[in-house]
Amino acid sequence: MRAGVFGIGLAALLATAAHAAEAPVVVELFTSHGCSSCRPADAFLTDLAHRRADVLALAFHVTYWDYLGWKDPYSLAAATVRQRAYARTLGDDGVYTPQMVVDGAVGFVGSSRSRGLDAIAHAAPKPVPVRLVRDGVGLLVKLGAGTGQARVLLVGFDPAHETEVGRGENSGASLVETNIVRSLTPIGTWTGAAIDVRQALPDGQDFAVLLQAANGRIIGAARLSS
């Protein structure tokens, strides 16, 4: 009997550990078409998206470059708000581009591949199991049990776009970018109990869900590609 209980407990522990290992490291890049120094960071994010199955790479296009001669067609007010929130939780003096944030825990200049790869390599396992599946014409978010409290965020993003820039610092350039966030929607609060959340499809071609604690750390994540 003791061996059986131990076996069940061990199996559950291994299943939880396996899920944590499968949860992607979330890499967010705050970028803009109006920023010429963002292009190496955009290229780094594209490499991560194409070559690292263990990474969820997301490009958040901010709005504060839009007044300098070229309005980024993918700029999103929610991206600017999100980066300002990171400035507070990470202790930054202000916002800048390109900035990369890994799992909501560490931020740095987004074109630094060495910093990025090191942060990804040292990212902590995510403690909360998260799944994102199709549910008819919508989505079903399945959140496992755990401890603490976190916001549930639904992300809609486009896998790739190519844009001819007509003005500004990147005037004349053809920018090819990856995983551009088109929507960021809070869909509830997780308080430790396992729950399911049904949601209509947000703007974007592909979808992901983030579970983010009050200190900014992402404690669960999953993606669903069309």
Classify 2-224 by CATH class: alpha beta
pLDDT at residue 226 in the model: 57
List the domain boundaries for the chain. Answer: 2-224
pLDDT digits (tens, 9 = 90+) for 103-129: 999 999 999 999 999 999 999 999 999
Report phi then psi at 183, rounded to 5: -155, 145
Q: What is the largest CA-CA distance in the chain?
A: 73
Regarding pTM above 0.75, the answer is yes
Among 25, 6, 21, 18, CA closest to 121: 25
pLDDT digits (tens, 9 = 90+) for 135-190: 989 999 999 999 999 999 999 999 988 777 767 676 666 777 899 999 999 999 99
Segment 82-100 mean pLDDT: 97
